[in-house]
């Protein structure tokens, strides 16, 4: 009798940054997002998303961040990821510079993408990626 090892299915799972991983504080009176003096957005980490990330990691999935922010925000995004112990390697943060994420997600081999933007979800689905709106 020959014994075969069953391969565990590992996926690349991506998460948007703004309003998915990081919940921005909005100033209702000014109608804009709040900033501090270091030009950092003010807000907090979405702990529900962190739980989902950890669940994917426990299943052997690779967790990355794909944001439509411009790369000029790299330091700020990395700062929040590092400061809040978000389980993403800083080398696994990708910036689309205002473009829809679908082609980047496809090029990276992403299977599942979490995002708050319905347009991003539709674009991901159109290229065969499971999109989950948060």
Tens-digit pLDDT profile for residues 68-77: 999 998 998 9
pLDDT at 126 over 70: yes
Read off the pLDDT band of 104 (50, 70, 90). Answer: very high
Read off the pLDDT band of 44 (50, 70, 90). Answer: confident
- What CATH number does the domain located at 12-133 have? 3.40.50.1000
User: Where are any strands of DSSP class E within the chain?
Assistant: 12-15, 22-24, 26-27, 32-33, 43-45, 62-67, 93-95, 110-115, 130-133
Cα–Cα dist 105/100, whole Å:
10
- The pLDDT, as a whole number, for residue 9 is 59
pLDDT at 4 over 70: no
Q: Residue 29: which H helix or E strand, with range?
A: none
Q: Are the CB atoms for 105 and 132 separated by under 8 Å?
A: no
CA quadruple 118, 55, 80, 83: dihedral, nearest 10: 170
What's CA 116's distance to the chain center, in Å?
10
Sequence ranges of the domains in the chain = 12-133
Share above pLDDT 70 across residues of the chain, in percent, rounded to a whole number: 80
78 or 41: which leads in pLDDT: 78
- The pLDDT, as a whole number, for residue 5 is 44
| 72-105 burial code (b ≥16 CB/10 A, e <16) | ebeebbeebbeeeebebeeeebbbbeeebbbebb
- The pLDDT, as a whole number, for residue 129 is 96
Q: What are the structure tokens assigned to 22, written together?
A: 């990081």
Q: Note the pTM of the prediction, 2 decimals.
A: 0.84
């Amino acid at each position: 009798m020959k014994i075969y090892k069953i391969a565990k299915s590992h996926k690349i799972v991506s998460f948007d940054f703004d309003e998915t991983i990081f919940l921005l504080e909005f100033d209702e009176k000014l109608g804009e997002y709040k900033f501090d003096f270091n030009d950092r957005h003010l807000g907090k980490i979405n702990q529900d998303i962190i739980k989902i990330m950890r669940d994917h990691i426990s299943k052997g999935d690779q967790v990355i961040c794909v944001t439509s922010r411009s790369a000029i925000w790299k330091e700020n995004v990395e700062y929040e990821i590092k400061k809040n112990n978000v389980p993403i390697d800083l080398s696994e943060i990708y910036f689309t510079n205002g473009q829809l994420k679908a082609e980047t997600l496809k090029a990276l081999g992403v299977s599942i993408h979490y995002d708050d933007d319905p347009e991003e979800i539709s674009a991901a689905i159109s290229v065969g990626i499971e999109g989950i709106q948060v």
